[in-house]
Amino acid sequence: MNVLGLVQLVDAPSAGGGYPFCFGIERRAACGDLSRPSDVLNLVQRLLKLFIGPCDGIAAGCAFRAARSSEFQGLGELCQKLSAASPPAMSLASLHMGRRLWELSRRWDWSHPVHDQLDPMAACVDLHHAVAFGSLVSETTANPVRAVAACLLQAARGIINTAVAAASFDDSIGRQLLWEVQPAISDIARQYAECSPHDIATLATDTELSNGF
């Protein structure tokens, strides 16, 4: 296992906005909906279970398996599936994060085999974050559950960090929440690690993403 690569992926900074923006994290904090650490934990768990897992989690697993098999030709269709299945705000966040991660990962020597094979396709399609992450994580682990869990962990980390800052919690609260959400991440990763693109859920509208869960 490439531990350094896995850590770099999970710790990679997201593009501006991203999941915290499309899920209205700062607005929720300003409205008092995240006044306790348990509020943040419950929200992150719901987001992972209802939205991120059944869409990006599945896609990350599909991209991981494709990359492990050097079968990159279907990843363009996988990105199209994500664009069709996601509400506009979530799709836009995913594309911003995907472009950011793809360019950032060029600095990592271990990622070059993936870039060599996927760059031509990435130049022609809208590269979603889950597809970029799933392809890259294939160079760090051979375990599909671990690969999907890493993708979900990065998503949770970005949401938790934004919520902690917006609610003016101590940084230690963020670290504790990230630890506490890991059992849920493991369960969701096991559920979706072997799913196909046909299993990607068509998600709610932007209004429902912000207000309805």
pLDDT > 70: percent of the chain: 93
Q: How confident is the model at residue 1 (pLDDT cuts 50, 70, 90)?
A: confident
pLDDT tens for each residue of 38-75: 999 999 999 999 889 999 999 999 999 999 998 888 89
Contact 134, 61 (CB under 8 A): yes
Nearest-10 crossing angle of helices 3-11, 129-137: 170
Residue 207, pLDDT score: 53
Read off φ and ψ for residue 86, nearest 5 degrees: -95, 145
Q: How confident is the model at residue 149 (pLDDT cuts 50, 70, 90)?
A: very high
Q: What is d(CA 191, CA 185) in angstroms, rounded to the nearest whole number?
A: 10
Coil vs helix vs strand at 175: helix
Q: Is the per-residue pLDDT at 183 higher than 60?
A: yes
The domains located in the chain, with CATH, are 38-211 (1.10.4190.10)
Residue 72, pLDDT score: 83
Evaluate the CA torsion angle 7, 182, 148, 133 in order and state its sign.
Answer: negative
**Residue 119 Cα distances to 2, 137, 154, angstroms:** 22, 16, 23
Residue 92, pLDDT score: 87
Residue 159, pLDDT score: 92
Q: Which of 4-18, 74-88, 98-112, 117-131 has the lowest mean pLDDT?
A: 4-18
Residues 6+ away with beta carbon under 8 Å from 31: none
Residue 181, pLDDT score: 97
Q: What is d(CA 172, CA 159) in angstroms, rounded to the nearest whole number?
A: 15
Residue 90, pLDDT score: 84
* 73 compared with 163, residue with greater pLDDT: 163
Q: What is d(CA 139, CA 134) in angstroms, rounded to the nearest whole number?
A: 9
Q: How confident is the model at residue 23 (pLDDT cuts 50, 70, 90)?
A: confident
Q: Average pLDDT, stretch 5-32?
A: 83
Residue 203, pLDDT score: 67
Q: What is the mean pLDDT of the chain?
A: 89
Residue 57, pLDDT score: 95
Q: Average pLDDT, stretch 170-192?
A: 96
pLDDT tens for each residue of 91-123: 888 999 999 999 999 999 999 999 998 898 888
Residue 206, pLDDT score: 53
- Say how many Å lie between the first and final Cα of the chain, rounded: 37
What tokens does 153 get? 């962990």
